[in-house]
Amino acid sequence: MVQENIKKVEAKIQAACAGSGREPKDVRLIAVSKTKPVEMLQEAYDYGCRDFGENKVQELVDKYEQMPKDIRWHMIGHLQRNKVKYIVDKVYLIHSVDSLRLAEEISKEAVKKNIAVSILVEVNVAGEESKFGTTSEEAAALVEEISKLPNLAIKGLMTIAPYTDVPEENRPYFAKLKQISVDITRKNIDNVSMEELSMGMTGDYEVAITEGATCVRVGTGIFGERQYTTL
Ligand SMILES: *Cc1c(COP(=O)(O)O)cnc(C)c1O
């Protein structure tokens, strides 16, 4: 089931790339495996997936211990400063850096462990109250501040678009994130690259690709609906 789903998602990624003059190799598919058992992750791994996304520190650490070591783990959820130390040396990319204080903590732990940590700055382009992320207006200034911190590498921007049944409705938000990244690139800030745009989920990744996404984060489309227990 998982492998069939990945095939379908890959076909859609290819179609979206073909329709917008892009190369599928320039779009990284991140299998968002939160709440799913390692058996399902293993199916995706056996198919060839090496990029997995998790949104909780404990769950990421547990799965990191159990799964093969050549996986690139992506932290895509809100990150509390006191938990940074558990994941800095395990993640390939932290997508959800939304404040200078969080970036300072990641930098501090990276210095301690003598590693470089790659991050994206999360932007709440739609301005939703319920979402984390810096504002579109403050994004460039935040990137500039974070760029001064040691042992951090800013690789680009991330956004979580609003939930919608009409993917086209999110196109302006994806276009906006792209525009912000272009504006930041023009500033030529030392230590800052805007090569990555993490945007698009199960409901809207094809639209995101046509607007320039380099990482799409697909959970439901690969692993099926999530069940959240209240226990
Ligand atoms: C859960 C989650 C996803 C995946 O959502 P689906 O709609 O299941 O594809 C993507 N990005 C973030 C930040 C998430 O928390």
Write the DSSP string, 4-66. Answer: HHHHHHHHHHHHHHHTTT--GGGSEEEEE-TT--HHHHHHHHHHT--EEEES-HHHHHHHHHH
Instruction: Give whole-number Cα distances, 193 to 115, 118, 183, in Å.
Output: 18, 10, 12
Rounded to whole angstroms, the Cα distance separating 15 from 6 reads: 14
Distance 30 CA to ligand 1 centre (A): 10
Pocket probe mutation, ligand 1, options 76, 125, 206, max atoms within 8 Å of Cβ:
76
Q: How far is the CA of 186 from the centre of ligand 1 (A)?
A: 30
Residue 161 Cα, ligand 1 centroid: separation in angstroms?
A: 10
Helix (H) or strand (E) holding 217: strand 215-218
CB of 217 shorter than 6 A to ligand 1: yes
**pLDDT value, residue 145:** 98
Contact 27, 5 (CB under 8 A): no
Is this model's pTM higher than 0.85 or not? yes
For the Cβ of 158 lying below 6 angstroms from any atom of ligand 1, the answer is no
> CB of 133 closer than 6 A to ligand 1?
no
Strand-pairing partners, residue 72, are 51
Distance 108 CA to ligand 1 centre (A): 28
Atom nearest to 76 CA in ligand 1: 13
Give the chain's residues under pLDDT 50. Answer: none
CB of 213 closer than 6 angstroms to any ligand 1 atom: no
How confident is the model at residue 227, as a pLDDT? 85
Beta-bridge partner residues of 154: 119, 192
The pLDDT assigned to 228 comes to 76
Distance 105 CA to ligand 1 centre (A): 25
CA distance 201 to 207: 10
Residue 36: predicted pLDDT: 97
> CA 76, CA 81: separation in Å to the nearest integer?
14
